Structure formats: structure tokens, C-alpha cells
């Protein structure tokens, strides 16, 4: 599968007999090298139960092979293409992601590319943040960033405008991911990059297309994430105490959903080959 700026393969660690994931990154130029180093350092230095575990890295014929724990359920994006999530399940995914983000933000790290394609799931229902190539480490000397990086539909308005920003850009992206889980795709996902920027600037915070189909709690949670003003946007710590999140299902309950998504994907592949 593709993840960020590399393709990911399943492999076997001969020394332990354990299945692992290998992300192969072709090092084409200085920018690719910077992203690769960024990803290794971020994963190595920020170990947490809601962040994919870094195992090792190798240089092989001009490629960097990044060995990580295998998340056998694939990406959340894969799951969303196959099955529909109930609100309790959306709450569970948000809680697990927020736990990872709260940990990163407490260590002054911004992920900068939170979206369903960068959230990995396990067949046991585990949910973990992945793909740290675009992350940024803040410091007392550099407490904000201003680079326009990320994936357009999930970018916070301050990123689109090229303004200085902090960790709460990840909260906006999580809110967009909440819309994505509720409706099947992110706002403006089918639009061209520059058109997305124009729509984010012109339309303000996106909303659910059919709000009455969703609970007041979900609507309120999304509103807390999708505040155009960064100061009004809730932090990861605050959102972990939001009733929509605290009433979410336990992560283990996602296992059945992820298994169903896997079965649906295998049936599609079978149909395509028949």
C-alpha cells in the first residue's frame, strides 16, 4: 500500500519470526532525504501506544527501508472505503488519535498531515498515527511554523494563508477527518489543490452536509475542532474530555468493523480477478 511518500510492504523479520511493515523511500534529492530523516527521528523519539512503532532502518540500493510494526488492518482510509462507521466508532477513532496527538503536542511536535490515509488500524481494533515525514519539532527559539505543508483538503486556514501556526493545525485536520468518517470523504477532496485553498478561504469552516442525520454531540465536537480562529479551537487535551469522545466505544470494539472492511476488500479483489 502507499503511505505518505513511500510504498509499504509486509515482511518477515528472520531473527524473530515477527511480521513487520517495510516502508521503502527512494531518496531522490535533498528534500526526500530530509523527509526520511524527519520521519525516522519523529518515530524513534516519540514512542506511544497510539503512534506506529519504529523498529529499524536500512539503506538498500539508494532506497531507505524503514521497518515498523505491522498494522494488519491497513489505513483508516481503506476502512472508510469499505464500511460505514457509527458515531460510537467515530468517537473511538477520534479518542485514539487525540491520545497520540496529545502526546506529540506535549512534546512540542506537530504532525502536520493528519488524515485517514495516515492513520493505521490493527485487526485488534488498535488505532495509531503514522507518516511523520512532514512533522515539525517546535522549540523555545522556534515556537511556530509557517510552511504550507500537508494535504490540501485537511489543511487549517492558517496553513493555507501561510501564517505562523502551532499544534492546533492538527486539531483542524482531525475535525476534517471526523467529517470524512461521518460522510465518507473530506470536503473538497475531489477539487484541484489551488481550488481547495480558495474554497477553504472563502467558505470558512466546513459543516456536515446533512446535519440532522447526526447527533448534536458529533456536531458540537466537530465545531470545537473546526474553529477558523486557532485560539478558539480546542486542544487535544480538552477534546479528550469532550462528551462525544468520552462516550465513544472502546477501541477493541473496532475489531469487528476492521475485519468486515478487510473481508469486503478481499471480495472486491476476488471479483476483479474473476
Burial environment of residue 38 by CB neighbours within 10 A (0 to 12, 13 to 18, 19 or more):
middle
Of 260, 242, 259, 255, the C-alpha closest to 91 is: 242
Query: Which one of the listed residues 13, 45, 113, 229 is annotated catalytic?
Result: 113
Which of the 8 DSSP states describes residue 19? E
Burial environment of residue 35 by CB neighbours within 10 A (0 to 12, 13 to 18, 19 or more):
buried
Would residue 113 show up in a list of annotated catalytic residues for this protein?
yes
Q: In Å, how far from its chain's centre is CA 151?
A: 11
Of 177, 201, 202, 203, the C-alpha closest to 189 is: 177
Can you tell me the distance from the alpha carbon of 259 to that of 108, in angstroms, rounded to the nearest whole number? 35
Residues marked active site are found at 113
Amino acid at each position: 500500500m502507499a503511505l505518505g511518500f513511500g510504498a509499504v510492504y509486509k515482511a518477515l523479520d528472520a531473527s524473530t519470526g515477527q511480521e513487520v511493515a517495510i516502508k521503502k523511500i527512494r531518496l531522490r534529492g535533498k528534500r526526500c532525504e530530509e523527509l526520511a530523516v524527519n520521519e525516522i527521528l519523529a518515530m524513534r523519539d516519540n514512542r506511544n501506544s497510539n503512534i506506529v512503532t519504529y523498529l529499524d532502518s536500512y539503506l538498500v540500493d539508494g532506497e531507505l527501508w524503514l521497518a515498523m510494526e505491522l498494522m494488519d488492518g491497513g489505513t483508516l482510509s481503506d476502512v472508510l472505503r469499505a464500511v460505514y462507521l457509527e458515531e460510537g466508532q467515530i468517537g473511538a477513532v477520534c479518542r485514539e488519535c487525540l491520545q497520540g496527538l496529545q502526546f506529540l503536542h506535549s512534546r512540542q511536535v506537530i504532525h502536520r498531515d493528519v488524515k485517514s490515509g495516515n492513520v493505521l488500524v490493527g485487526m485488534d481494533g488498535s488505532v495509531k498515527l503514522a507518516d511523520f515525514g512532514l512533522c515539525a519539532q517546535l522549540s523555545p527559539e522556534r515556537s511556530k511554523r509557517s510552511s504550507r505543508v500537508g494535504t490540501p483538503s485537511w489543511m487549517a486556514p492558517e496553513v493555507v494563508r501561510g501564517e505562523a501556526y502551532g499544534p492546533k493545525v492538527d486539531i483542524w485536520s482531525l475535525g476534517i477527518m471526523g467529517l470524512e468518517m461521518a460522510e465518507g470523504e473530506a470536503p473538497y477532496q475531489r477539487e484541484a489543490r489551488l481550488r481547495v485553498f480558495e474554497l477553504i478561504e472563502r467558505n470558512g469552516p466546513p459543516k456536515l452536509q446533512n446535519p440532522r442525520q447526526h447527533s448534536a454531540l458529533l456536531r458540537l465536537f466537530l465545531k470545537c475542532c473546526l474553529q477558523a480562529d486557532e485560539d478558539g479551537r480546542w486542544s487535544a487535551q480538552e477534546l479528550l474530555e469532550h462528551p462525544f469522545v468520552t462516550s465513544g466505544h472502546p477501541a477493541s470494539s473496532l475489531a469487528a468493523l476492521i475485519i468486515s472492511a478487510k473481508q469486503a476488500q478481499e471480495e472486491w479483489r476476488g471479483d476483479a480477478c474473476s
